């Protein structure tokens, strides 16, 4: 079993929809959580970084962390075709010198 | 643009050869990380350097090595290349706001 589980999708939604992307993890030592967006053949782009349970909002993006359930989410409001990409969750365990452990990524397609 | 630069963008080479990938971190960042992304394994951490010293190692093969120079740029050396080493190699640098990735080097071993 992988340390970080993420549904690979693909997930297809119409423009304007609210998108929910999720990851679960098994090790409670994960304390820092990030969401990246990766367009095809490009480098991952950091969207959100959070380290406490609760919600963090940035524009159309909201990151949610529930440490008791070992579950994190990324919500995208008013989704646009330009949001079509692969979304990767990533986590850092305490005491691991900040190396990221990634989920497999969820491929999102926003259609007109 | 993350501010992390990587060269070259693409590299095509033959099995058994050796290549060097180069990374320059964002201005002011002391940490450099190397990751490998392949279709079957996803994004995997290879190694981290902090201000010239190795800080952490992941599942990096013995045929691979890295170093960080006094000007903080880093190089990843891949030797005795095999077909399975074909992948995207990313460098990242970090500060308190997170880890920022470069555009990657696409390595194709034929």
Cis peptide before B71 (omega within 30 of 0): no
Q: Look at residue B14 in the predicted model and tell me its pLDDT.
A: 98
Q: Using the beta-carbon criterion (under 8 Å), do B98 and A46 form an inter-chain contact?
A: yes
Burial letters A37-72, b for 16+ CB under 10 A, else e? bbeeeebbbbbbbbeeeeeeeeeebbbbbebeebeb
Residues of B in contact with A98 (CB under 8 A): 31, 33, 48, 56, 94, 99
- Torsion sign over Cα A84, A27, A50, B73: negative
Q: Is residue B30 less than 8 Å (CB to CB) from chain A?
A: no
A46 Ramachandran zone, left/alpha/beta (phi>0; psi -120 to 50): beta
Q: Render pLDDT for B24-42 as a digit per residue (tens, 0 to 9).
A: 999 999 999 999 999 888 8
Between CA B67 and CA B45 the distance in angstroms is: 15
From the list B37, B40, B17, B41, the residue with the least C-alpha distance to B90 is B37
Q: Is residue B33 less than 8 Å (CB to CB) from chain A?
A: yes
Tokens of A62: 């909201």
Q: Look at residue A58 in the predicted model and tell me its pLDDT.
A: 95
Per-residue pLDDT of chain A (112 residues), as tens digits, is: 789 999 888 999 999 999 999 999 999 999 999 999 999 989 999 999 998 889 999 999 999 999 999 999 999 999 999 999 999 999 998 776 678 999 999 999 999 9
Q: Using the beta-carbon criterion (under 8 Å), do A98 and B94 form an inter-chain contact?
A: yes
Q: Using the beta-carbon criterion (under 8 Å), do B98 and A41 form an inter-chain contact?
A: no
Q: Residue for token digits 């880890």?
A: B99
Q: Render pLDDT for B49-100 as a digit per residue (tens, 0 to 9).
A: 999 999 999 989 999 999 999 999 999 999 999 999 999 999 999 988 889 9
Q: Look at residue A97 in the predicted model and tell me its pLDDT.
A: 65
Spatial CB neighbours of B41, under 8 Å, sequence gap ≥ 6: none
Residues of A in contact with B42 (CB under 8 A): 102-105
Q: Look at residue A96 in the predicted model and tell me its pLDDT.
A: 64
């Amino acid at each position: 079993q992988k340390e970080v589980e993420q549904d690979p999708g693909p997930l297809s939604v119409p423009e304007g929809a609210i998108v929910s992307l999720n990851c679960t993890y098994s090790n409670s030592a994960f304390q820092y959580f990030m969401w990246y967006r990766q367009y095809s053949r490009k480098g991952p782009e950091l969207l959100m970084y959070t380290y406490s349970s609760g919600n963090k909002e940035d524009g159309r993006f909201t990151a949610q962390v529930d440490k008791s359930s070992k579950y994190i989410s990324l919500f995208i409001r008013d989704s646009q075709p330009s949001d079509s990409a692969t979304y990767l969750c990533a986590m850092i365990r305490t005491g691991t010198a900040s190396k990221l452990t990634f989920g497999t990524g969820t491929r999102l397609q926003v259609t007109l | 643009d993350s501010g992390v630069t990587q060269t070259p963008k693409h590299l095509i080479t033959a099995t058994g050869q050796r290549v060097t990938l180069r990374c320059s971190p964002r201005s002011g960042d002391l940490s450099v990380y190397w990751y490998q992304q392949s279709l079957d394994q996803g994004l995997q951490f290879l190694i981290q350097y902090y201000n010239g010293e190795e800080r952490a190692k992941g599942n990096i093969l013995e045929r691979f090595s890295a170093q960080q120079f006094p000007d903080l740029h880093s190089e990843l050396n891949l030797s005795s290349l095999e077909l399975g080493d074909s992948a995207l190699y990313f460098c990242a640098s970090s500060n308190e706001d997170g880890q920022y990735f470069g555009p990657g080097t696409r390595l194709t071993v034929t």
